Amino acid sequence: MKHELSRNNNYDFFEEAMHDFFPAFYGYSDRRAQKYMRTDIKETDDAYRMEVELPGMDKKDIHIDLKDGYLSITANKSEQSDGGKKDNYIHRERSFSCSRSYYVGDIRKEDIKAKYENGILNVCIPKEVKQKEEEHRIEIE
């Protein structure tokens, strides 16, 4: 933070505080940053289990789509207005959106299960079932 103060003459305490506490939402790629939607993926015998961090979200704010073998998770949170009530906010950052895509292969959407609980989205993706190649004998005329 001290180094940033010396580089920037237009220092804004509130803006800098938000960068320090929520670096992922500001796109930092240095050592302080953590990826948004951090994801852990576990492999079992028949499926992959994903745990995606989405703290502070409601289930209705999260959308999961499957297209061309890519599973896309989008979270979009927007502030609701209080029907004309005006507060003297200096800075507001509770509205944001983020998304991530994961290649899952040729899976049917009906086979994917998802559950959101305590800020963690759990997604279960079955492994692709490889079909055994059948022997096809070609008759000779």
Q: Report the largest interatomic distance among the alpha carbons of the chain, rounded to a whole angstrom.
A: 88
Structure tokens at 18: 């938000």
pTM exceeds 0.75 for this model = no
Q: What are the φ and ψ backbone dihedral angles of 31, each rounded to 5 degrees?
A: -65, -20
Contact 129, 136 (CB under 8 A): no
- The pLDDT tens digits along the chain (141 residues) read 344 444 445 555 555 555 555 555 555 444 433 467 899 999 999 999 999 999 888 899 999 999 998 999 999 887 765 555 667 778 777 777 889 999 988 888 999 999 999 999 999 999 876 666 677 777 887
What ranges do the domains of the chain cover?
1-34, 36-79+92-128
CATH architecture of 36-79+92-128: Sandwich (2.60)
* DSSP string for the chain: -HHHHHH-SS--HHHHHHHHH-GGGGT--STT---TT-EEEEE-SSEEEEEEE-TT--GGGEEEEEETTEEEEEEEE-PPP-TT-----S-----EEEEEEEE--S--GGG-EEEEETTEEEEEEEPP-PPPPPP-PPPP-
Query: The tokens 């509130």 sit on which residue?
Result: 14
Please choose, from the candidates 57, 64, 61, the residue with its C-alpha nearest in 3D space to the C-alpha of residue 111.
64
